[in-house]
Amino acid sequence: MTTKHDRSALLPLGALAAGFSIAGAAMAQAEAPAAPKEGSEAVMPAVRAKAAAEPNGKNTLRATTTTIGKGEQKLRDIPQSVTVITERLMDDRNLDDIKSVLRNTAGVTFLSGETGEEDVRLRGFSLQQAGDLYVDGLRDAPLYERDTFNFERVEVLKGSASMLFGRGSTGGVVNQVNKQPFLNDQHEMEATVGSGDKKRITGDFNWTTGETSALRLNVMGEKTDNWGAKVEKHGIAPSFRWGMGSADEFTISYYHLQYGNIPNYNQPRLLNEDGRIQLLLPAKNFYGLTSDFNDGSADYGTLTHVHRFGDNSQLKTSLRHGRYERHLWASAIGFAPAASQPGGVAVTPATLSDATVLRRNFKGREGISDITTLQSDYSGNFELLGKRHQLLTGVELAYDEAKRNQNVPGSYLVPGTVPTAPLTTVGTPNDGASIDVPGAPYMNKFRASNISAYVQDTMAVTNELKLLAGLRFDHFKATYNVLSRVTTGGVVSLVPNSAERTDNLWSPRVGAIFQPNDWSSYYASFGTSYNVSGDTYQYAVQGPAVDNKDINTPPEKSRNVEIGGKFDLFDNNLSLGTALFYSQKYHERNNDPDSAATQQLLSGKRHAAGLELNVAGRITPAWDAYVSYTWIPEAKIDESNVQATNPNGTVNNTQRKGDRSALTPKHSASVWSTYRVLPQLRLGAGLNFRSEQSPQNARHVTAPSFTTFDAMAEYTFNDKLTAKLYVLNLTDKLYADSLYAGFYAPGAPRTVQLSLKARF
């Protein structure tokens, strides 16, 4: 007899089987075109016509090409899972920042960071905060509040990818693709108002300036009250492109984003008897101070040159320099001790009331980064020993210089510098209280340089079978200058310490791709990744840096194995991808229990195994759909030094051997579908689902599963004017969106937004 549990476990396998079944049905409906004859000459694409066309993803949920694999490639030619969030999907669901984009990607979860940022997890592995985020293939490492106003699409490559990207990329990488000028005069403005007194306006203007040149300008401004957690930001992104359709094409661009927000750091949690988080406070309740701030900016300029050779190959070189600043002061909210509560009783779900007293602790971070990157990639075809080869090779030079303070409130030398935060109550959110925030703290310094080179060859063994092999070498060197607080005779002083770390690393990648026709592709791949010391907090010292000694912890290492298939169905209007994966971090940092102050060990090990399913495109001329689903039945801590109890005998709730990995739900999904019910009316609906999970370092805590529903109605008056009504979290579901050991951040409450878009 099949139990309910057995049936649940079989559902994801059914999804995998369904993917291959749909592909088989499509093959039965239509005869596949004949494969090109061996030895036939490749025809260079009509680049100018492509540049003149409407931008990729503007009117579709489906992408067929990507730049995440270095150079432009068809998705079917990449032997790993890739999820692409197109501009249409971002517009449909009002995805205004990178966090909301990633929430629409299955397998992604969020750790509520100690200082306000959300540490993104993919398949349970950290994306190294911002370290595994890229813009147009160049590392976009610093922490800042990324907006989507200049995005054409967002590409998520899942699984180890250090052969392509170097350090990081255990769970995958995220590539943000900026909008590019094209050969057509086309302009668009959109204004949005909504719940929380939201006011946002964007503009996208494109002018042709010559036969092969165009100028594009994207702008954004937003001011939202958000029930106290205010958002105020503006951005501008001009770009000029010339030589389109010629042998030499150039693009020069600049990006500026400025924001001054009030962060909603967290809400305090209460647990029931079995450790499940009780969600009792409304999501819109803001308990921070009006003096809290999350101020920052991102400024970078990029110069890109593409030289196209006559044999359908090209050399792309990009140079970027940027400065990024972040200044954060936030209130971490918790329940006051029992002595401060009504009746002197500790807070429980049963005693919680409007009179319950809340305390505010301060968190803060300062960061300024200057990053320069030079990257050159060559892609081309050649024949050797009667076999057709696709060569991908390149070099990268990068230099980072940063000043950081990870704990601003705890950095001041004079006692009493940080004022005591006023208390508040559950029944008085957004009470208007404030403090005088102290001045700037001392800063630690970091410098890093990275020199890398890679080469990948894809050989066509037959017309249907391709074998892929690649190798990358990275030389990474980092210098840390850290100030430590030391108290001598009651006097607090700063003592400088410095440390260095140099790593030379090799990253392989191999795979096989079988393409029996032009609509199906099957693959198997293996790749590795690594995380250098210092990346955990994006250049805090990972491992000891005392007595001016070098950091003694080598990089962590990971690997990913994946098999899957990608299919273009329904007359090439819908893409389906499905894969089985096994990801393992086999050298994970743990403190040495015998000498934790001077040494860390690479003794940890964890793995995650499961299934990916991606669907995007058009089912009928009126019906579009997007599905992203991840099933991870296995996510386990295989080895760890963590002991069952602390030295003082209290229970240590840090995950240990045998536990399920934190922030790794078994099921996660994002679904969106639209249907044109009338020539002028398009309706849409979708959901986001995440099954239960535990926070990091809190094995005794469980966040309940949740499903949220969204809906949209769009009316097109004519080819120049469109109105859209969008409702986020239709049922006003209360859920824990991001988690930390001692608190959580709630997901957005029900939010109604009305947009008006004009084209001219």
CATH of the domain at 210: 2.40.170.20
- What was the pLDDT predicted at 481? 86
State the average pLDDT over residues 281-296.
Answer: 96
Report the chain's mean pLDDT, rounded to a whole number: 87
- Specify the higher pLDDT residue, 738 or 31: 738
Q: What's the rounded Cα separation, in Å, for the pair 543 and 612?
A: 35
Cα separation values, 287 from 198, 410, 422, 497, Å: 20, 21, 11, 38
Answer yes or no: are the C-beta atoms of 263 and 241 closer than 8 Å.
no
Query: For residue 34, is pLDDT > 70?
Result: no
**Extended strands (E) in 266-356:** 267-268, 270-271, 277-278, 293-308, 314-335
- Closest C-alpha to 168, from 500, 511, 555: 555
Name the least confident of 338-342, 500-504, 542-546: 542-546
3-state DSSP assignment of residue 162 = helix
Per-residue pLDDT tens for 291-322? 999 999 999 999 999 999 988 899 999 999 99
CA-CA distances (angstroms) from residue 700 to 276, 654, 656, 706? 8, 9, 12, 19
- CB contact set of 707 (below 8 Å; sequence gap of 6+): 687, 688, 689, 733
Q: Of 602, 523, 500, whose CA–CA distance to 558 is shortest?
A: 602
Total number of domains constituting the chain: 1
pLDDT > 70: percent of the chain: 86
> Span 20-45, mean pLDDT?
40
- Comparing C-alpha atoms, which of 208, 73, 44, 51 is closest to residue 521? 73
Query: From CA 715, how far away is CA 722, in angstroms rounded?
Result: 6
Whether residue 377 is predicted with pLDDT greater than 90 in this model: the reply is: yes
- Tens digit of each residue's pLDDT (9 = 90 or more) over 117-173: 667 889 988 875 556 899 999 999 888 999 999 999 999 999 988 999 998 767 899
- Judged against a pLDDT cut of 70, whether residue 57 lies above it is answered with no
Output 658 or 710, whichever has higher pLDDT.
710
Indicate if the pLDDT at residue 331 is higher than 60.
yes
**Residue 660 sits in which domain range?**
4-759
Residue 47 has pLDDT above 60, yes or no: no
Q: What is the pLDDT of residue 591?
A: 61
With 70 as the cut, is the pLDDT of residue 49 above it?
no
Local confidence band at 441 (pLDDT 50, 70, 90 cut-offs): confident
3-class secondary structure per residue, 350-397:
CCCCCCCEEEEEEEEEEEEEEEEEEEEEEEEEEEECCEEEEEEEEEEE
Q: What is the pTM of this model?
A: 0.89
Q: What is the pLDDT of residue 593?
A: 52
> Which residues contact residue 610 at a Cβ distance below 8 angstroms, ignoring those fewer than 6 apart?
12, 123, 580, 581, 630, 631, 632, 633, 634, 635
Specify the pLDDT at position 543.
Answer: 45
CA dist., res. 574 & res. 620, Å (int): 9
Better-scored residue on pLDDT, 104 or 120: 104
pLDDT recorded at residue 12: 42
Please state, as a whole number, how many other Cβ atoms lie within 10 Å of the Cβ of residue 497.
17
Amino acid at 63: A
pLDDT band at 72 (very low <50, low <70, confident <90, very high): confident
Q: How far is CA 674 from the centre of its chain?
A: 25
